[in-house]
Amino acid sequence: MKSNIKSKLRAEAETLKLQRKLEQQEQTIRKQKELLQVAEAQIQAAREEEEVLRHEVHHRVKNNLQIILSMLSLYTGNNADPEIEAVLKNMHSRVATISLIHKQLYDSSSLAEIDMQEYVNSQIKDLLSIYPVRTKKIVVKLDLGKVVLEVDRAINCALLINELVVNAIWHAFTERENGTLEVRLTERTDDALRLLVADDGIGLPEEIDISQTSTIGLRMTYNFILRLKGKLSLIRSGGTRFCIDFPKHSSF
C-alpha cells in the first residue's frame, strides 16, 4: 500500500515536472513567434521603403532628363546650321529613349522589368514628334508581341531601336518624301527574341560595314547588338532590313 502511494506521488511529481517543462517550451515558442513577427514586419517595412526610394530615384532621373530634353529642344530651335541641328535632334532622341524607360518604371508596379510592347509604341510616337518634317509622309507599321525585358536589356534594345529608326528617317528616303518603315519585336522561343527594323528606301550601300564604319549611328547600332549578344541579318535590296535575333535573358 505504501509503495503504491510512493509510486503515485513520484508519478505526480514527474507529471508536474513535465508540465512545467512543457509550459516553458510553449513560452519560448511564443517568444520566438513574436520575434519572428517583429522581424517579418521590419523586413516588409524595409521592402516598402526601398520600393518608395526606387520610385523616387526613377522620378528624379526622369525629371532631370526632361530638363536636358528641354535644353536640347531650345538649342535646336535656335540653331540655323542644319548639321548642328541634326546632331542635336539625334542627341534628343537618345536622351528621350532613356527618359521614357524611367517614366515607365515610375508608372509601373514593377521596377525590374519593362513591357516592351507598351514602351516601343510610345517610343515610336516620340521619335515621329522629334522629326515631324521628315516623317509626315512615312507610314509606320508596328508588330509588337507581348515582350517583357529586364531593365538593362530593355535599355539596350530601346537604344538599338532608336538608332535604327532614326537612321532610316535620315537616310532611307532621301530620294522621295514618302515611304514605309516597319518595326517588329516578337518572341521566337521562350528565350529568343527577334527585332526587325525595315524600310523600303534606297537601301544601305554595299560598301558600308556597320562593324567598321565611322558613322556614329551605325557604330552605336553595332555596339548595342553586341551588348544584347545578338546575331544580325542585314538585307540591302528593296530597302534596308535589319533583323537581329537575341536572347531574352542576359547570361553571365
β-pairing verdict for 179-189 and 138-144: parallel
Instruction: Compute the CA torsion angle 26, 30, 36, 42 (nearest 10 deg).
Output: -170
Note the pLDDT tens digit of each residue in 196-227. Answer: 999 999 999 989 999 888 888 999 999 999 99
Pair 164, 197: CB distance under 8 Å = yes
Segment holding 206, helix H or strand E: none
> Model confidence at 152, in pLDDT bands (50, 70, 90)?
very high
Is pLDDT above 90 for 195?
A: yes
> Model confidence at 161, in pLDDT bands (50, 70, 90)?
very high
H-helix segments, 78-215: 82-107, 116-130, 132-135, 151-171
User: Which residues, 6+ apart, have CB-to-CB distance to 180 below 8 Å?
Assistant: 138, 139, 140, 141, 199, 200
Q: Which residue has the higher pLDDT, 148 or 74?
A: 148
Alpha-carbon span 204 to 221, nearest angstrom: 14
The predicted model scores a pTM of 0.77
Pair 195, 156: CB distance under 8 Å = no
- Write phi, then psi, for 181 (nearest 5 degrees): -125, 130
User: Which residues, 6+ apart, have CB-to-CB distance to 137 below 8 Å?
Assistant: 177, 178, 179
Number of H helices, E strands in the chain: 6, 7
Note the pLDDT tens digit of each residue in 73-110. Answer: 887 777 668 888 888 889 999 999 999 998 888 887 77
Is pLDDT above 70 for 48?
A: no
> Model confidence at 141, in pLDDT bands (50, 70, 90)?
very high
Is pLDDT above 70 for 58?
A: no
Q: Letter for the amino acid at 251?
A: S
150, 142, 137, 109: which is closest to 124 by C-alpha?
Answer: 142
What average pLDDT does the segment 143-149 reach?
94
Q: How far apart are the first and last CA of the chain?
A: 81
Is pLDDT above 80 for 53?
A: no
The domains found in the chain, sorted by start residue, are 1-111 (no CATH), 112-252 (3.30.565.10)
